[in-house]
Amino acid sequence: MLRDDVKLALRIQTNLLNDEIDDTIEEAGAELIRSGVPSEVVSAQGSLIRRAIITYCQMRLANDKTMTEGYQRSFEYQQDCLRKSTLTEEDTEAGDG
């Protein structure tokens, strides 16, 4: 389950933050879709999407400002790569016009 992967990445062992983690996972998916990653790709939760969601959760739930900034840069890079890699040929041709 994705929540368990997020908790492991954040070194969280308690269940007290489960609701907040679930909300942040949902927020991460919505952010990927908002930036142009197709909703079908996000819903499928392949390994790259899962990694981006975990990174987003680390960014939002980290306590250290330096770590937060690093996670933000990482998420933005992952988000951009996912957005670009899911462009269809039709999208590319439309941009050439």
Residues 6+ apart with CB under 8 A from 8: none
Please report whether residue 45 resides in a domain. Answer: yes
In this prediction, residue 92 carries a pLDDT of 39
Range of the domain at 76: 2-84
Q: How many CA atoms lie within 13 A of 51 on its CB side?
A: 10
Please report whether residue 6 resides in a domain. Answer: yes
**Banded model confidence at residue 93, pLDDT cuts 50, 70, 90:** very low
Mean pLDDT across the chain, nearest whole number? 89
Tokens of residue 48, six digits: 């790259």
Q: How many domains does the chain have?
A: 1
Share of residues in the chain with pLDDT > 70 (%): 88
Please report whether residue 63 resides in a domain. Answer: yes
For the segment 37-76, what is each residue's pLDDT rounded down to a tens digit?
Answer: 999 999 998 999 999 999 999 999 988 889 999 999 999 9
Average pLDDT for 24-31: 97
Please report whether residue 89 resides in a domain. Answer: no
Cβ atoms 75, 55 nearer than 8 A:
yes
